[in-house]
Amino acid sequence: MAENTWQFGAMVDSATALRARYRHNPDVFVGVDLLMYCEKGNPTHTANES
């Protein structure tokens, strides 16, 4: 999880680079958790809201 915009950018850049590096390897999964899970069909609600 990023605590600021610099960390967020570093996470995105790292994930992008890793996905590009391993794009042809089906055994590699690259994921990043931003703690935002949208509710399908409702763009104003996320699962981490009360």
User: Which strand (E) or helix (H) includes residue 10?
Assistant: helix 5-21
Q: Using CA atoms, how far apart are residues 7 and 12, in angstroms rounded to an integer?
A: 9
Q: What is the pLDDT of residue 49?
A: 47
Compute and round to an integer the Cα radius of gyration of the chain.
14
CB neighbourhood size of 32 (10 A): 14
| Tokens coding 4 | 């600021």
Q: In the block, which residue shows the tokens 């590009």?
A: 20
pTM assigned to the model: 0.61
pLDDT tens figures, 2-43: 788 898 899 899 999 999 999 999 999 888 876 555 566 776
Q: What is the pLDDT of residue 4?
A: 85
